Amino acid sequence: MDALLVLLAALALGGLVFLPWMRRRRAVRDTRQGLMVASDPMAGYGFVPLDQLDVRLPGPDQELEDALAEIRRTHDWRPAAALLKSTGDDWERRWQRVQTLAGAAAFELAEGAQEGGRRTGGIWLRTWRSEAPKDPGGAQTHAQFLVVQALRDPGSQDFRMILEEARTVCHEAGLLAPGSPIPYIIELAAARGLGDRPADYEELWSKVVQRAPQHMGAHLAALPYWSQKWHGSRQEAEEFAERAAAGAPSGTLLPALPLFAVYEHLPEANMVRSLYQSAVVERAIEGAHFALREAPADHPMAPHVRHLLVWFLVRAERYAEAMEQLRLVDGHVGAVPWSYGRSPAAEYAAYRALAIAGWEQLGGTSTGFPQDRP
């Protein structure tokens, strides 16, 4: 009898703890089923298995992937320098590549530190700076590397010191390539972390706009400053995004910026479906769809927009649209919102699973699902 009472108590406690969670996550069964489907390359959808998802990049860039592989193999900086030189003044693509190269150096440094405390990781970046001090690509990558290092641990006692150094290197990079917006875009993050006054931040922003007024990456870098989490408010962030979207010429991705502003200010408890079917969110989603239709198909920042769209479309239960975005972006997951989590690949795969489960509940199947990739 005592054993029976203990068992009943355990069951009651389990119901008390888990049933509310199960109700909030009513799609958990479909998620599990979808995860198995999404991680199985033979499932018929042609999606990339979980363990093969690339967390470094938001979308394909074979030249960048080749350079990263060569750097990893040889610890030589020259493949990175050659890549950025060939990128030239394709500012969107250059910004993305600088970010990824800096992130690779930071990852190598952290990886080396975990292996017995050795600080040899990312040595190719230090060598690049010492052997080619006047290479603007090296200076830009070094500045972004410092920003990554600082923002990784905002509570560190070295936080401000590292960001001040990053700002100094940004200024050096600006002198080496006066027409490039990249050093000023990198400085946007440093200035945010250092708490620059709005007037000073506006002055810095004007230097970016003078050089690349429709740069989507620059707008994404500036948006957090005006958000409630940093030095602004929801209203200021939304106004910044709406102004950029309204004034954007055809062919840019700026009409998608309000979607990022909405994401920045979602409430912590945001599982309510009606939130994602509200007029504000629907308008932002349509703006992102419009931007993707109007911009070049190979726009370097398009995968960033598609990844965030997947997140919103799944939560709004617009599964057919989510599946279309997944088809176009699957394989690379180095983008918001996945990059904010502890395991970007797993978080992306979970949403992919929800999209598949929802798609199939609505009658969709893998038969005839287009598997061509951009």
User: 61-66: long-range contacts (C-beta < 8 A, 24 or more apart)?
Assistant: 61/93, 61/96, 61/97, 61/100, 61/300, 64/96, 64/97, 64/100, 64/101
- Token pair recorded at residue 157: 């006692």
Angle at 333 between CA 102 and CA 262, to 5 degrees: 95
- Are 49 and 345 contacting, i.e. CB atoms less than 8 angstroms apart? no
pLDDT tens for 311-365 read: 999 999 999 999 999 999 999 999 999 998 889 999 999 999 999 999 999 998 8
Q: In terms of DSSP H, where are the helices of the chain?
A: 2-24, 28-38, 62-74, 78-87, 91-114, 123-131, 136-152, 159-176, 182-194, 198-211, 216-222, 234-246, 257-264, 273-276, 279-294, 302-315, 319-329, 344-361
Would you place residue 368 in the very low, low, confident or very high pLDDT band (cuts 50, 70, 90)? Answer: confident
* pLDDT for 155: 86
Would you place residue 276 in the very low, low, confident or very high pLDDT band (cuts 50, 70, 90)? Answer: confident
**Of 215, 135, 228, which Cα lies nearest the Cα of 181?**
215
Domains of the chain, earliest start first: 26-61+254-294+300-374 (no CATH), 62-218 (1.25.40)
Could you give the CA distance from residue 45 to residue 324 in angstroms, rounded to a whole number?
Answer: 11
How many of the other CB atoms lie within 10 Å of CB of 251? 12
- Are 224 and 264 contacting, i.e. CB atoms less than 8 angstroms apart? yes
Could you give the CA distance from residue 7 to residue 14 in angstroms, rounded to a whole number?
Answer: 10
- Token pair recorded at residue 332: 């690379």
**Of 166, 125, 170, which Cα lies nearest the Cα of 148?**
166
**pTM for the structure as a whole:** 0.86
Could you give the CA distance from residue 242 to residue 225 in angstroms, rounded to a whole number?
Answer: 15
User: How distant is the alpha carbon of residue 164 from its chain centre?
Assistant: 24
* pLDDT for 116: 53
* Cis status, amide bond into 303, omega within 30 of 0: no
pLDDT tens for 28-75 read: 444 444 444 444 534 688 899 999 999 999 999 999 999 999 999 999
Higher pLDDT, 10 or 235: 235
23-27, 126-130, 177-181 — which is least confidently predicted?
23-27
- Residue 133 CB partners (closer than 8 Å, separation 6+): 139
For residue 336, give the amino acid letter: V
* pLDDT for 37: 45
Rounded mean pLDDT of the chain? 87
* pLDDT for 373: 60
Could you give the CA distance from residue 221 to residue 61 in angstroms, rounded to a whole number?
Answer: 21
